[in-house]
Structure 1
Amino acid sequence: MDRDLDPQLKVGFIGAGNMAFGIAKGILPGKVLPENVTVSAPSSRNLERFQELGIAVTHSNEEVVCGSQVVFVAVKPHLVPSVLSEVCRHVTDGHVIVSVAAGVTLATLEELLPENSAVIRLMPNLPCVVQEGALLFARGTHATPEAGALIRSLLHHCGLVEEGPEAWIDIHTGLSGSGVAFVYLFAEALAEGAVKMGMPGVLAQSISSQTVLGAGRLLRDSGKHPAQLRSEVCTPGGTTIHGLHALEQGGLRAAVMSAVESATVRARELGLRPAAATRK
């Protein structure tokens, strides 16, 4: 898919946190050259790792916008109004503005930017760093299907990239953004169970990590429903069904569903109301 990208496409990031780094690292294996990527942050604390990738860094958000065609706004949600107010006058019809700020709606973004701006709301997750992310995006009123295709191609190497209605973005945050941490907690618990039964901690953690990785790949690549794969592991009276019984007694299924619900609700709470912005 990346073959359709302009080799001279200029990409910018406002914000240098983990999400920006994950996306930046993910797009470089494609046709985006490091010298065509610029990242800004108010301090130098997180910029060194971008420089190690050959990416240009700056403290000027305006410099990023002026020198880029696709701009990822990767700052904390409460900083979005001030950042967009700062760069608003430099945004043109040639820009695609992509926000990865949790909870900030397309309506808010469009209100803060010049009229007819092409805006996309994107929710990636941390495994973008290893090109195994799960990303969902929604297009704003003035973002064309071509802009969506551009973003899909640009992010192709980051992992699974899907488009959907904005209503799904907060759900995706709870499912995949926060869900990564839920999987880590489960992996930690798996290893601790093995330690309890007498296995050395380092070995238990290594085997737990590989178990999660292998199970995930099999689930993704087989196309089978999780319940089907689970049933294939179980044998009558065997070890797995006894373990699954213990998990059901502990309420694992309900707890995970509640965790996704809680994270989704919180993502919605982070949403900002459309602010009165002066278009420039």
Structure 2
Amino acid sequence: MKTILVPFDFSPYAVAALQTAYKISHKSGAEILCVTVVPTELDWEFLSEEAKAKHSQVLDEYNEAMEVLPSYLRNIAPAKAPIKPIVKIGVPFESILQVAKEYSTDLIVLGAYGKGNGGVNFIGSTLQKILRNSPYPVLAVKELLDGNGFRKVGFASNFDPASKTAFERIKPLVKLFRASVHLVFVNTPAHFTNSIEVEERMNHFMKGFEELTFHKHVFNYSDPETGLEKFSDLHKIGLMAMVSGHHEKIPNYQIGTTETLVFQSDLAVLSIKV
């Protein structure tokens, strides 16, 4: 792992994301890109200097961020932390993903409201758009996830062939913290699958990952999101990794399992696309 990107808006949740990223960076040596975006719908990069000069408020906010961000990071991060401050102007999620592409980011770590703290406000937000549009793994955290938090990882899936490809993308993170991986299939009445079939899928999934420690679970619950919450509470898991679908063109008000788990739980959720 070489590069971790943290979208940074100076909120306590962004600070928690930065602290979490530093825990990963400290073990891996990865550089942290701390990205603050001055929001505007203007196509800023294609404006002439004369046109930009007409938008003094945007320029003022940009100059302020350029001045404040480095000093702010020095106050909250260890002195030798490999953090690169970046300030952009544009649509936040687009600017963040542009930077991620430019630096070939391995992981995006961002802050999310915890349960009971207005998480519903994130529907349609930058967080949701990054979850939906990022081709890179996205770790959404509500509070600092320290080294112990990484040592037990849940991996929720239906364990089809694509899930194995997705897991390969987070395998370096699992190995970095020598994590035990709890494979979990939430069996719901609406999509009931017999345990023998799930066991066969899991066994096939684990082939080629013999150096890792796995625990297999079939957990029966009425819906997958609450089932994953209850399973995590039962097994004291704070980080749940999930294979996410491609929902880029689905309306914001229609949210999938990954988004629902981020919005309604206090879990750290790692979203991975194939």
- Asked if Structure 1 and Structure 2 have the same fold, meaning a TM-score greater than 0.5 normalized by the shorter chain, the answer is no
Over alpha carbons, which structure has the higher Rg?
A: 1
Structure with the largest fraction of helix: 1
Aligning the two structures, in what range does the TM-score lie when normalised by the shorter sequence?
A: 0.3 to 0.5
